[in-house]
């Protein structure tokens, strides 16, 4: 940990599901001691994702990936003694992370205003769906409804067809990254001033910030952007094209007339490539349907790696549409350690995402697997908070710690 940039910082992580835990994971990967607070009364749903709920809460790979490097405790925060333990932990922490609705920790007396009383230098970040105030502040959402609320989902679908929306936690991931940046900025401010602060980060506002092009189109041109499939209003060809094999596809993007000429050279300059209807970007955009059909006629004769090799050598942006299995076996990802194998006591070897960035002097690392339920109770309550064995035993008997 001495070679990690956040070595020496401690984080109390109240969060669950995706956005908050991923934020905590980033801090933990960079060396912070992140203590995940859980309760057996209501398990983190990341421990029970579809397909894993019948196997048990210790075996879920989603949880293992987002909570590696963390310590884990179990405490009943609804019990006044449990809430008191949390206040003691926050008192010796630098950061607190939570992504409940605003009333979540407030109902337990563990909101920022209360925690600041025990630790004025605390930096606390909340990642609710719609922020800590406003008419929508108490709404309950998950990733698809977040995308729908901020307008992002309305852009996903094929031209002229119904909106498909997103079914991935895209905004959770973006919120986690934005949140980690905000925490680091607050830590930097505290280093200079000695002052802690509160960070209110609405996930729908993060989502809105990712679709600036759509906002500009509306405010500057009075047009509401809609579904475009894989196309782009300024580039053609710009799509996914079929390749040799069962449901194999290649993504190809041509931005300039120079790239178009390189593309035509790479595919052997077929007669249709010289037609006026494809002579410049404007004409290619007007004739995208036919252009996509002709490009598909060429790509389908090759595997997607063959197409990528041909086009990339010509300076044309292209890449295979890899499924999850193919991504794990891709030689580039393997060489860069994009995925790591980590031993976990409940599952053996887990394959989890590696660190997405590497600092040359303080690179960070995956040092330990995700915690078992209450795995570090003795360390946190005993060593960090100084509770005696008898006190801990009584708290366990009373199901305050369990």
CATH number of the domain that residue 56 is part of: 3.40.50.10540
Same domain, 125 and 143: yes
Q: What pLDDT is stored for residue 402 in this prediction?
A: 82
Q: What pLDDT is stored for residue 324 in this prediction?
A: 83
Domain containing residue 256 = 238-328
Same domain, 314 and 341: no
Same domain, 277 and 386: no
Q: What pLDDT is stored for residue 56 in this prediction?
A: 85
Same domain, 322 and 359: no
Exposed, middle or buried: residue 306 (CB in 10 Å: 0-12, 13-18, 19+)?
middle
Same domain, 197 and 305: no
Q: What pLDDT is stored for residue 176 in this prediction?
A: 96
How many independent structural domains does the chain possess? 2
User: Could you check whether the bond before residue 298 is cis, i.e. omega within 30 degrees of 0?
Assistant: no
323 labelled catalytic = no
Same domain, 21 and 150: yes
131-145, 183-197, 310-324: least confidently modelled range: 131-145
Whole-angstrom distance, CA of residue 322 vs CA of residue 193: 48
Same domain, 100 and 76: yes
For residue 175, is it within any domain? Answer: yes
Residue 359 above 80 pLDDT? yes
Domain-terminating residue out of 276, 293, 328: 328
For residue 226, is it within any domain? Answer: no
Residue-wise pLDDT for 328-357, tens only, equals: 888 999 899 888 999 999 999 998 988 888
For residue 160, is it within any domain? Answer: yes
Active site residue: 60, 76, 172, 292, which one?
Answer: 172
Residue-wise pLDDT for 14-29, tens only, equals: 999 999 999 999 999 9
69-78, 205-214, 234-243, 297-306: least confidently modelled range: 205-214
Q: Span 304-318, mean pLDDT?
A: 98
Domain-terminating residue out of 276, 309, 328: 328
E strand or H helix at 63, and its extent?
A: helix 61-66
Q: What pLDDT is stored for residue 329 in this prediction?
A: 85
Same domain, 51 and 117: yes
Same domain, 25 and 125: yes
For residues 150 and 265, which has the higher predicted lDDT (pLDDT)?
265
Residue-wise pLDDT for 44-102, tens only, equals: 999 998 876 667 899 999 999 999 999 999 999 999 999 999 999 999 999 999 999 99
Same domain, 291 and 307: yes
Q: What is the CATH number of the domain that holds 277?
A: 3.30.1540.10
| β-strand pairing of 249-253 with 95-98 | unpaired
Pull the structure tokens for residue 192: 């200079």
137-146, 248-257, 299-308: least confidently modelled range: 137-146
Domain-terminating residue out of 298, 328, 358: 328
Same domain, 383 and 281: no
Residue-wise pLDDT for 158-171, tens only, equals: 988 999 988 888 89
Residue 122 above 90 pLDDT? yes
Same domain, 323 and 341: no
Residue 361 above 80 pLDDT? yes
Buried b (16+ CB within 10 A) or exposed e, 30-46: bbbbbbbbbbeeebbbb
């Amino acid at each position: 940990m001495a070679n990690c940039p956040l070595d020496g910082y401690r984080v109390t992580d109240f969060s669950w599901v995706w956005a908050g835990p991923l934020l905590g994971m980033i801090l933990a990967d960079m060396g912070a001691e992140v203590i995940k607070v859980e309760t057996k009364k209501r398990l983190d749903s990341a421990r029970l994702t579809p397909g894993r709920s019948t196997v048990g809460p210790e075996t879920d790979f989603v949880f293992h990936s987002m909570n590696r490097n963390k310590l884990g405790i179990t405490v009943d925060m609804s019990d006044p003694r449990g809430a008191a333990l949390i206040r003691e932990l926050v008192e010796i922490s630098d950061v607190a992370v939570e992504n409940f609705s605003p009333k979540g920790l407030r109902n337990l007396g563990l909101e920022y205003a209360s925690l600041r009383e025990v630790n004025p230098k605390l930096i606390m970040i909340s990642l609710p769906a719609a922020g800590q105030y406003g008419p929508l502040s108490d709404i309950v959402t998950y990733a698809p409804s977040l995308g729908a609320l901020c307008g992002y989902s309305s852009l996903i679908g094929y031209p002229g067809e119904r909106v498909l929306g997103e079914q991935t936690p895209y905004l959770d991931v973006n919120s986690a990254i934005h949140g980690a940046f905000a925490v680091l900025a607050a830590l930097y401010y505290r280093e200079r001033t000695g002052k802690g602060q509160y960070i209110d980060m609405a996930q729908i506002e993060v989502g809105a910030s990712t679709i600036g092009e759509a906002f500009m189109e509306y405010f500057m041109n009075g047009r509401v952007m809609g579904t475009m499939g894989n196309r782009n209003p300024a580039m053609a060809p710009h799509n996914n094209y079929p390749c040799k094999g069962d449901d194999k596809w290649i993504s190809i993007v041509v931005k300039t007339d120079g790239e178009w000429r390189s593309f035509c050279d790479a595919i052997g300059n077929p007669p249709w490539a010289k037609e006026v209807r494809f002579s410049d970007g404007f004409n290619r955009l007007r004739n995208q349907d036919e252009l996509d059909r002709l490009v598909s006629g060429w790509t389908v004769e090759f595997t997607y790696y063959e197409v990528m090799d041909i086009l990339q050598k010509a300076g044309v942006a292209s890449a295979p549409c890899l499924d999850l299995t193919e991504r794990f076996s891709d030689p580039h990802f393997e060489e860069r350690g994009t995925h790591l194998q980590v031993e976990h006591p409940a599952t053996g070897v887990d394959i989890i995402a590696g660190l997405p960035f590497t600092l040359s002097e303080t690179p960070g690392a995956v040092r330990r697997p995700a915690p078992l339920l209450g795995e570090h109770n003795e360390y946190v309550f005993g060593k960090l908070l100084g509770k005696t064995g008898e006190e801990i035993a009584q708290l366990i008997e009373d199901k305050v710690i369990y």
